[in-house]
Chains A and B, each alone.
Chain A
Amino acid sequence: DTGVSQNPRHKITKRGQNVTFRCDPISEHNRLYWYRQTLGQGPEFLTYFQNEAQLEKSRLLSDRFSAERPKGSFSTLEIQRTEQGDSAMYLCASSASTGKTTNEKLFFGSGTQLSVL
């Protein structure tokens, strides 16, 4: 399978615990995105990387959230001191930016469903 891969698929944690999710983008895709989706809503942008550089973060992203893409390949999203309001589907997407095209379609993974008890 050469699509976007996310692990784990499901995570149940207690409030106050830290969690980390991993995303493996489509190989050779230089852009990687994190989105959050709650039930019945569309995905909300959190942050994105071009290669290893984090280029933009949403104002919705609190200080408890941190994302990394150290080698420009896979990425991790960590949530510290989880709260019940963090319960959501966390989606990763990737795209191949040519630098000349204004927009390119995003390919999404199946997401990590986080439940904070």
Chain B
Amino acid sequence: GESVGLHLPTLSVQEGDNSIINCAYSNSASDYFIWYKQESGKGPQFIIDIRSNMDKRQGQRVTVLLNKTVKHLSLQIAATQPGDSAVYFCASGRGGGNKLTFGTGTQLKVEL
């Protein structure tokens, strides 16, 4: 079955440093990938998405890289801020519809 997994459950970074959160997916048919940020007591908040016909996409302070050859996805956050502290989920989908499959999440902790 399809599964999405994260390499590290917790990531601690210093304020101002760059953060890299990694994710592996298993279903080669996945054609859509998305990152969400979830703060305690809140629902997931969209960060950035990418389709399988791209290998890189940039947003404001965030970049998503997709390597379909090894089925790997990463989220880079530039100049990490205390407000970036949260759990980050990657998710993937395939075909029509939006049945996203989520990973277990990475807790990002920003140290002052």
Footprint of B on A, CB under 8 Å? Answer: 4, 31, 33, 40-45, 48, 55-56, 91, 93, 95, 97, 102-111
* Chain A residues in 8 Å Cβ range of B41: 110
Q: A42 near B105 (CB under 8 angstroms)?
A: yes
Footprint of A on B, CB under 8 Å? Answer: 4, 31-32, 34, 36, 41-46, 49, 51, 89, 91, 93, 95-105
How long is the Cα–Cα vector from A101 to B43 in the complex, in angstroms?
24
Report if A55-B97 is in contact (Cβ < 8 Å); known contacts: A41-B105, A107-B46, A110-B43.
yes
* Chain B residues in 8 Å Cβ range of A97: 98
From B32, B43, B46, B91, give the contact of A42 (CB < 8 A).
B91
Pairs across A and B, CB under 8 Å, 9 listed:
A31-B98, A42-B102, A42-B105, A45-B101, A48-B98, A56-B99, A103-B31, A103-B98, A106-B100
Question: In the complex, what's the smallest C-beta–C-beta distance from A6 to chain B, in angstroms?
Answer: 8
